[in-house]
Chains A and B, each alone.
Chain A
Amino acid sequence: MDKLVAELKDKLIDVLNLQGVTPADFDENAQLVGGPLGIDSIDVLEMVVMVEKEYGIAINNQEIGEKVFSSLTSLAAYIKSHSPDSSS
């Protein structure tokens, strides 16, 4: 899980071009959308694409999306539990 969180931090910093943000000051439990990083609805859609592309998981329902992207931890948990190659 920690490995996935670390991986997601790198990916989001890259995909969302979060200039000046380092993995160290990316709080995985902080509110992701509308939080301190200025992430908005367009970023959410970009993250949806990233999750589908990199992890093969489609999120095309706004309600689920709101829960999944509430924090980096919840995103990691969702990916882990829905991953095609997850053992759970």
Chain B
Amino acid sequence: MTEKRIYIASIGIVSPLAKGLAATEARLRDNRSAIGPLDLFPLLQGAILPVGQVHEHELDESSPLPRTHRLARLAALQAMDSRSERPEAVILGTTTGGILTTEQLLRDSDRHKERYRYHGIGSVATSVAEAIDCCGPALTVSTACSSGAVAIALAMAMLRHGKAKTVLAGGADSLCRLTYFGFHSLQLVDRNGCRPFDADRHGMAVAEGAAMLLLTTEKPEAPLAELLGAGLSCDAYHPAAPHPEGRGARMAMEAALADAGLTAAEIDYINLHGTGTPENDLAEAKAIQALFITPPPLSSIKGATGHSLAASGAIEAAVATIAVAKNFLPANTGCTQPDPALDLLPLLQPTTQRVSAVLSNSFGFGGNNGSLVIGAPDSFPTQKPAPAHPALAIHGSACLTGAGEKTATTSLFAQGLAVTGMVAPEHLAENLPARFVRRLKRLPRMTLSLAVAAQQDSGFAGKPAAIFMGTGWGALSETYDFLTRLTESQEQFPSPTDFVGSVHNGPAGQAAILLGATGANITTGGGDYSFEQALFAADLLLGGGDDDHCLVLGADEGHQTLSPLLDPSIAPDTPLADGGGALCLSRKREGAHCLLTLPFYQRSTATADIDALIDALGGATALQGRCALVLAGIPAVEREAGEAQLERFIRQTHLDIPVICYRDLIGEFASASAVAAAIAASLLATGDSSTLLGKATTGDRHTILVLGLGHYLSVMEFSRP
């Protein structure tokens, strides 16, 4: 692998400040806050809180797409405007997806399923990919307020490892009742607007916006800046509060600096996360004090923009880009009396000075942290290329289904018997400490149970370095309960517990706390392909050290009301099913149950088709020699296309081996593929595949393929080491 520079070729941005990079810069130079009273949706009672709302007439109000999608597409199209580069992947961070639309539909008791079709967070990245005609992977990252930064960090890993030459990455979130009332219920909203680092600060202003960065390893004519490094960490401390000493924040900044090959002294400006809540600003200040002997100039722009959640990391990466491109440092708008307890003086006025390297911080719920280093192009030495990692090795696995845990599930499945249904209450949390899970509902319990079981199965004594979690729909019970109580109490008594539990990365954050996993903690949400996305992220980020191991999970809960409305594969008469799977992975072959690769993951198009998938597996002849079993995932809604794809796969490969459409046995839920993965790993570990369905397979054939079919095509290959 050769050394690679990652250039920021262009940026699309829309925020409460302005639309477009130049207008954003101009508004930052004005140093005025764009925070004002909410008027996006009416309130049933109570004082109107200040928010950062996009007053953007060009947001096409007639579009059937939810607001988050429209914000994301606006930023994406702007970034791609008159560019010749074609991104090979879209990586987008979002927490809200289509929830603003869903909230209204639920209030209206609207049961028209098709109106909920853009609810899923994964539909935002897909919508962007369609808008810019990108056929490659469209990944959705949901790590709360660090989502945008984490999306950019993942894009960076993809580019560094040569998996793509150009990637469009960023974040988008719209205002909605869930976040407006949710943060209010946590008493984290400042009624007087947002004043980060001020002695009299009382919290944040919830906001919206989007930014998308066109990143490329092929040097553009006039690059705006260079993406030098990224660092991810997890506090593993509390679901909503930061570690009081800023432990995770410091780790993320340290990792980003190390990744960029820079010392703290080489940073000219820090764009703070600076939400304006007393605890967040204090934790960030402590982390900076611990890392910087003399902190450089620093400021948070959230007093001007508000906190646009998943968009903020991308918007602030754009601001960091403006800083290096224009030698301009924005002010810490809103702060008049810097808090002496923080012992840091943020910039009270916009400042012009030479800037070569900027550190941009984003920290979120679940203790999910991401820091980026952005610098002037070609100004710093390139890093040594990362060594190519060996294949992922599975050291432990677990699953939960209607039939119970892994042994029961695998045994029935191998006999061709159904394991579908809802996970029984006694299996939901049997291996978990009662006090730890008292506040947790269905999805986090399932997730924790899987995480603990996979870790135990691996026999690894050490803590996992990182956790990757795919979920198609997130914590439905918490989301539904929050919205129901909000409506029933006439917006007076939203539940803080349900709000904290409703965030997509809540379950993975809980797993990090329980297992002490302080490395990257990434939740992906790509509908029926969420688990594959989590695996994709793990393969990009898991290091090659012998002690490094991570958990990759996929889980979804069946919810009586929401599942039939949201999941297009669940018809009114479909029996509800749920569950999930987990793998404990490292790069160490020794002692591994089996090896795992993800050779193909693309949006299904004329060129990215089954033939391309077969090519990625090395072609038909090679497959005939090694493949013993195919587990095919065809979501019910994709039946026609999926069956045609499967038929072509079998015809083109001439494989005469068992092919099982696993959803027939596991049930219809988004992360059914995680269960299939755990079953595949288990079959290879125990050697059961030779008797699977009574059909003998020859000894040389030693791999199992788990195909994902439909509007995305993917294949995971499990093989004996």
Contact = CB atoms under 8 A, between A and B. Distances in A.
B435 A19 contact: yes
Given A40-B238, A42-B500, A62-B187, A49 B495 contact: yes
Given A42-B239, A42-B240, A49 B496 contact: yes
A41 B493 contact: no
A83 interface: no
Interface string A19-31: 1100000000000
B497 A42 contact: yes
A17 B439 contact: yes
A43 B434 CA distance: 16
Contact of B495 (A40, A41, A46): A46
Contacts of B496: 42, 45-46, 49
A66 interface: no
Contact of A52 (B240, B493, B497): B493
B696 interface: no
Contacts of A3: none
Contacts of B492: 53
A60 interface: yes
Contact of B187 (A43, A52, A60): A60
Given A20-B434, A38-B435, A45 B185 contact: yes
A49 to B, nearest CB: 5
Given A40-B238, A42-B239, A62-B187, A18 B500 contact: no
Interface string B461-489: 00000000000000000000000000001
B493 A18 contact: no
Nearest to B496: A45
Given A16-B438, A38-B435, A40-B238, A45 B493 contact: no
Nearest to B436: A38
A18 B439 CA distance: 9
Interface residues of B, number: 18
A45 B187 contact: yes
Given A40-B238, A45-B185, A60-B187, A19 B497 contact: no
Given A42-B500, A46-B495, A53-B493, A17 B185 contact: no
Nearest to B238: A40
Interface string B220-254: 00000000000000000011110000000000000
Contacts of A40: 238
Which residue among B186, B435, B500 has the maximum number of chain A CB atoms within 10 Å of its CB? B435
Chain A contact residues, majority secondary structure? helix
Contacts of A48: 187
A46 B434 CA distance: 19
B236 to A, nearest CB: 15
Which residue among A19, A20, A46, A49 has the maximum number of chain B CB atoms within 10 Å of its CB? A49
A18 B187 contact: no
A44 B489 CA distance: 19
Chain B contact residues, majority secondary structure? loop
Nearest to B186: A45
Contacts of A43: 439, 497
Nearest to A18: B438
Given A19-B434, A20-B434, A49-B185, A42 B493 contact: no
A19 B440 CA distance: 12
Nearest to B437: A19
Contacts of A41: 238, 240-241
Contacts of A49: 185, 493, 495-496
Contacts of A42: 186, 239-240, 439, 496-497, 500
Nearest to B500: A42
A19 B185 contact: no
B275 to A, nearest CB: 16
B47 to A, nearest CB: 12
B187 A19 contact: no
Which residue among B187, B238, B239, B434 has the maximum number of chain A CB atoms within 10 Å of its CB? B187
B107 to A, nearest CB: 21
A46 B498 CA distance: 10
Interface in B184-241: 185-187, 238-241
Nearest to A50: B493
Contacts of A17: 438-439
Contacts of B493: 49, 52-53
Interface in A47-88: 48-49, 52-53, 60, 62
B438 A46 contact: no
B497 A46 contact: yes
A86 to B, nearest CB: 22
A43 B496 CA distance: 8
A60 B187 CA distance: 8
Nearest to B279: A41
A38 B513 CA distance: 14
Contacts of A38: 435, 438
A84 B463 CA distance: 52
A78 B654 CA distance: 77
A43 B439 CA distance: 9
Nearest to B439: A17
Nearest to B501: A42
Which residue among B186, B434, B495, B497 has the maximum number of chain A CB atoms within 10 Å of its CB? B497
A18 B186 CA distance: 20
A52 B496 CA distance: 14
Contacts of B186: 42, 45
A81 to B, nearest CB: 22
13 contacts: A19-B435, A19-B438, A20-B435, A38-B438, A41-B241, A42-B439, A42-B496, A42-B497, A43-B497, A45-B187, A45-B497, A46-B496, A46-B497
Given A46-B496, A53-B493, A60-B187, 6 more contacts: A40-B238, A42-B239, A48-B187, A49-B185, A53-B489, A53-B492
Interface of A: 16-20, 38, 40-43, 45-46, 48-49, 52-53, 60, 62
Shortest 9 CB-CB contacts between residues of A and residues of B: A45-B496, A17-B438, A49-B493, A38-B435, A19-B438, A19-B434, A46-B497, A42-B496, A53-B493
